[in-house]
Amino acid sequence: MVDESQNIELTEDDLENKSKGQLIKMAGQLRDRRNDLNQMASERASNRDDLNAETREKVDEAQEHREKRDELNEQVQEHKDKRNELNAEANELFDKVEQLKSDMELDEGKDLEELKEEIEQLEFKQQTEVLSSEDEKELIEKIESKREEYEERKQKLDQNEDLEALVEEAEEVRSEASKHHQKVTELADKAQEHHNQMIEAYREADDIRDEADEMHESFVEAQEAADRHHEDFVRVQKRLRELDKKEEEQRKSQRDKKKEAAKEEAEEIYQKFKEGETLDTEDLMKLQKTGLL
């Protein structure tokens, strides 16, 4: 802010009624205050320009983060698309695995380990327990049935190499999809970081811009005050020139009056000379000055 108590006020009454000496003093005060205000305005303009430059730097920084964020988001979308594509492919492969298992009837009944364990338990029973002929016959038939079932299921698994390959392929595709999902997460986190930095840079730019606007207002205030003092200084200078002109006119008028009086006196002396009166040295000098002798 401008300290208005340091300002010099000039009124029309000052111009009309103050003496020449007072006006000269006031002109000096107006000039000095104008120069001080111009210096103040220049400093504030420089500070404003520095703040505006800093604002532009922050905006540029924010733009760089925006561009990096957008670039990363594009990469995120690319990896998302690839992940979704691979997951869809993996789902299709796992569906084929299930269908193949269903076709082989491997999804029903007991698995090989369970069958093997049951066979071993039945054989142990046959070897350790005393059974009637009928019970032993029934047990032997049951063991044979389990062995047949075991061999049949084992044969189906051994003969169908496609299932294992299909499972392996499906798992590989799912693993590749997981890698793309991991990239999505990593890149999305980085994009968010740049987004946050962009927001912060824009916020800082706004704060600095507010400072620059305030500094510009203070510059305008100082410059307008300097301009007013300059205008008043010019007014005083104009008034001083008017007073100088008036004094010069007064001096000229006085010289003219003296000259006229001297001329009239010389003419009277010249008249006396023509009438034969004797002139002294002073009278002769007066005639010479006026060119009558």
| Rounded-to-integer distance, Cα 276 and Cα 270, Å | 10
Task: Collect all residues with Cβ–Cβ distance below 8 Å to 83 and sequence separation of at least 6.
Answer: 177, 180, 181, 184
How high is the pLDDT of residue 109?
54
How high is the pLDDT of residue 45?
97
Sign of CA dihedral 209, 211, 215, 221: positive
CA distances from 108 to 101, 151, 257, 274 (A): 9, 16, 144, 168
Residue holding tokens 């062995």?
Answer: 147
Tens-level pLDDT at each residue, the chain (293 residues): 888 889 999 999 999 999 999 999 999 999 999 999 999 999 999 999 999 999 999 999 999 999 999 999 999 999 999 999 999 999 999 998 888 777 665 545 566 778 888 888 888 877 887 778 888 888 888 888 888 888 877 776 665 667 778 889 999 999 999 999 999 999 999 999 999 999 999 999 999 999 999 999 999 999 999 999 999 999 999 999 999 998 898 888 888 788 887 777 777 777 777 777 777 777 668 667 766 66
Residue 237 tokens, joined: 């200078």
How high is the pLDDT of residue 218?
96
**Nearest CA among 155, 72, 49 for reference residue 106:** 155
Task: Collect all residues with Cβ–Cβ distance below 8 Å to 220 and sequence separation of at least 6.
Answer: none
Instruction: Report CA 25 to chain centroid distance, whole Å.
Output: 50
What fold, for 18-104+162-244?
Helix Hairpins (1.10.287)
How high is the pLDDT of residue 160?
66
How high is the pLDDT of residue 172?
95
227 exposed, middle or buried (CB, 10 Å; 0-12, 13-18, 19+)? middle
How high is the pLDDT of residue 104?
65
How high is the pLDDT of residue 159?
57
How high is the pLDDT of residue 13?
93
| Rounded-to-integer distance, Cα 157 and Cα 149, Å | 12
| Rounded-to-integer distance, Cα 7 and Cα 30, Å | 8
